[in-house]
């Protein structure tokens, strides 16, 4: 299992934004993963996606790594941000915009505003 932990650590270190998810950003395999990937894609955020369904060790390993029981899991600059509910709340409150700005992550502010308008 230490190999999986090392792989996860390298992935979150080597990529500014990483989404551990069921499926891929092009083809999510669950509604929660689809929602988070959809928000990131709509906001134009470049992110690495890791399909936990492709590797059972990764599927359990990411839960152990973050001490978070569910997938998807979003990491920004090596830090665990949260799962679907947290990312949804952060998107709607503007906290995700703030996080991306503080971490120098490029995103489309107009798209983020449209998400809030549509859900306000």
Annotated binding site for [2Fe-2S] cluster: 30
How many Å separate Cα 90 from the centre of its chain? 12
- The annotation places the binding site at 30
Give φ, ψ of 110 to 5 degrees.
Answer: -60, -40
Cα distance between residue 49 and residue 24, in whole Å: 6
Residues ≥6 apart with Cβ < 8 Å to 101? none
């Amino acid at each position: 299992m230490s190999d999986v932990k090392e792989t996860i650590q390298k992935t979150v270190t080597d990529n500014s934004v990483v989404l551990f998810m069921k499926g891929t950003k092009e083809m999510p395999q669950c509604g929660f993963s689809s929602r988070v990937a959809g928000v990131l894609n709509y906001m134009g955020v470049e992110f690495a996606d890791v399909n936990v369904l492709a590797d059972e060790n990764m599927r359990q390993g990411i839960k152990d790594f973050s001490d978070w029981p569910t997938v998807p899991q979003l990491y920004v600059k090596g830090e665990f941000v949260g799962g679907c509910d947290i990312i949804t709340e952060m998107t709607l409150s503007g906290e995700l915009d703030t996080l991306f700005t503080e971490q120098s992550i490029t995103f489309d502010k107009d798209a983020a505003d449209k998400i809030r308008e549509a859900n306000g």
